[in-house]
Structure 1
Amino acid sequence: MNPLTPASDPKSLRKWCREQRRSLSHSQQIQHAKQATSRLLKSAWLQRPKKIAVFLSQDGELGTNPLIQALWHSQHRVYLPVLKTLRGRPMAFAEYLPKSKMFKNHLKMLEPHIKQQHHLHGKQLDLIIVPLTCFDEQGHRIGMGGGFYDRAFAFKRQQHKAMMSRPKLVGWAHECQKVSFISSASWDVPLDALISEQQIYHFKTH
Structure 2
Amino acid sequence: MPNHRDEIRQLIRQRRRQLSQDQQHQSALKLVEQCMQQELFHASQHIALYLSTDGELNTQPLINALWQAGKSVYLPVLHPFSKGHLLFLHYQANTPMTLNKFGISEPKLDQRLIIPTDQLDVICTPLVAFDDSCQRLGMGGGYYDRTLAPWFHTQVGATPIGLAHDCQQVDKIPTEKWDIPLPMIITPSQRFSAS
TM (norm. structure 1) is 0.89
The 5 Å alignment of 1:1-206 reads: 2-3=1-2, 8-48=3-43, 50-85=45-80, 87=82, 90-116=85-111, 118-159=113-154, 162=155, 165-204=156-195
Q: Partner amino acid for 2:181?
A: P
Where structure 1 has 5 or more consecutive residues not aligned to the other structure, the ranges are: none
5+ unaligned residues in a row in structure 2: which ranges?
none
Shift of 1:43: 1.0
Alpha-carbon distance in 1 for matches of 2:44, 2:152:
26
SS in 2 for 1:47: helix
How many residue pairs align between the two structures?
195
Note if contact 2:44-2:121 (Cα within 8 Å) is conserved in structure 1. no
Aligned alpha-carbon RMSD (Å): 1.6
> Shift of the alpha carbon at 1:88?
7.9
For 2:28 and 2:123, the matched residues in 1 are separated by 17
Secondary structure of the corresponding residue to residue 36 of structure 1? helix
Percent identity of equivalent pairs: 36
CA contact (8 A) 2:46 2:73 kept: yes
| Cα pair distance change 1:143/1:73, threshold 3 Å | same
- More off after superposition, 89-98 vs 65-74: 89-98
Which amino acid in the other structure matches residue 152 of structure 1?
A: T
Residue 12 (structure 1) shift: 0.3
In the aligned structure 1, how far is the partner of 2:8 from the partner of 2:94?
A: 38
- What are the Cα deviations for residues 133-187 of structure 1, in whole angstroms up to 9, with x where unaligned? 100011111111111000111112333xx1xx43111111011100000122111
Aligned partner of residue 138 in structure 1, secondary structure: coil
Q: Secondary structure at the match of 1:144?
A: coil
C-alpha contact (below 8 Å) 1:136/1:182 kept by paired residues: yes
Quote the offset at 1:188 in angstroms: 1.3
